[in-house]
A and B are shown apart, each in its own frame.
Chain A
């Protein structure tokens, strides 16, 4: 019963997220509406951590598996992808490095400054 209840809470919040998405149709997936809602519920203690802990742990753990079908869908899109595969690889690699350095250095600098002030 424990899992069932927890799963029901998560699904309920997900459902409300989908309803919200219907009424506020921003270009954000319904799941993010649900995520934000769940966070608010947790922070306001309307949902206790114990009420969702185990089921959410399970869901997050198996998450990678859920992307396998979508990832394998690449073969269906290979025709579209082939002409840009090299630029895409280069772009992802370069941006990953750039973002990593910029984020790390900025935060490092700010935290360092804050600690020196203390």
Chain B
């Protein structure tokens, strides 16, 4: 029997297709979101494999032809995306901001809860792409060193959950506009939730679809690219950006809003590159100096620099063994002391930098 399955190029496919057929049937009969066809068919196949005592590897060998179409199918997602491009363009800014907020809240909540539950890195990165369309999420989890099969399960579960709770949440949270509803469901629970969005209304469904995934994916990518890199390194890039802003002529770049944006980015960096409590050091240091810098007050800049920024960086540099970094910070401590001696502590308030 095992040999039969191993050598057949159709049994696995046929079994999967029939299971899905049953799933759709059940869904139509019961009309309950929990009977998601994909969920039902996965459960059915698992039961079948367990009951008949068939090795998963053998089944997969026979069903792999299905997976072959995954990459072209993902590429084909560009078409529904393209069909909605007009709506997307019209509300581009609102949509981008909404999705960005959703992605950041997703990353933060996954991160905080993984920490609370004490999950290791492997599970953490498996959970990260939970709100992305399955095809993409699976690939992302794999690229990051997560477990792709578990990622599929997590993504499917997220979708089903979203499908079940979407309507209630929109009501309780008083999310009114069709576009926001669609975005909310799409960002939180991707394509599987789409069915629900379509039930609620036309625009919601249209909004929900894959372009939302696409956007959120773009944001994810930027974040995930950073993953695995040293927190300090990226934090430093942000510092460069901050200096650029502080020195720029554009009013917005010099405003308190920009300060908040940079601090948020720093925190995001911390979360993404988290490699233990040590990551807190450079980020805390840079946030302190960012806030200090945006006061445009020479004394406050010195205080932030001398008592928070430099000491934290020095500790960080010692731990990671960066002699150049230690030297650099010792020099900046020195230069700050010199400037205090030269101008006098009180007079610093008047120095215009």
Nearest A residue (CB) for B220:
A28
How far is B172's CA from A97's CA once the two chains are assembled, in angstroms? Answer: 11
The docked-state distance in angstroms from the alpha carbon of A42 to that of B214 is: 15
Q: Are B134 and A67 interface neighbours, CB within 8 A?
A: yes
Q: List A contacts of B273 (CB < 8 A).
A: none
Q: Mark A70-107, 1 if CB is under 8 A from B, else 0.
A: 11111111001100100111111111111111111111
B119 at interface by CB-CB < 8 Å: yes
> Does B114 contact A91, Cβ atoms closer than 8 Å?
yes
Inter-chain contact count A-B, CB under 8 Å? 311
Contacting residues, chain A, for B127 (C-beta < 8 A)? 88, 91-92
B301: interface (CB < 8 Å): no
Mostly, the B contact residues are helix
A19 at the interface (CB under 8 A from B): no
Counting CB contacts under 8 A, is B313 at the interface?
Answer: no
Q: How many residues of chain A get a CB closer than 8 Å to chain B's CBs?
A: 75
In B75-99, the 8 Å CB interface with A consists of 75-83, 85, 91, 93-95, 97-99
Q: Mark B62-86, 1 if CB is under 8 A from A, else 0.
A: 0110110111111111111111010
Once the chains bind, are A52 and B73 in contact (CB under 8 Å)?
no
Interface residues as binary, B41-65 with A (CB distance below 8 Å gives 1, 0 otherwise): 1100110011000001101100110
Query: By the criterion CB–CB under 8 Å, are A28 and B143 in contact?
Result: yes
Complex Cα–Cα for A79 and B153 (A): 14
Name the CB-closest residue of B to A88: B154
Query: B interface vs A, CB < 8 Å?
Result: 12, 16-17, 19-20, 37-38, 41-42, 45-46, 49-50, 56-57, 59-60, 63-64, 66-67, 69-83, 85, 91, 93-95, 97-99, 101-102, 105-106, 109-110, 113-114, 117, 119, 123, 127, 130-131, 134-136, 138-140, 142-144, 147-150, 152-154, 156-158, 161-162, 165-166, 169-170, 173, 175-177, 179-181, 183-185, 187-189, 214, 217, 221, 224-225, 227
List 24 A-B residue pairs with CB atoms under 8 Å apart, sorted by A's residue number: A18-B71, A26-B225, A27-B225, A29-B74, A29-B135, A49-B79, A49-B83, A53-B79, A59-B72, A59-B73, A60-B73, A67-B42, A71-B42, A72-B46, A72-B59, A74-B152, A75-B49, A87-B113, A95-B130, A98-B109, A99-B105, A101-B175, A103-B102, A104-B173
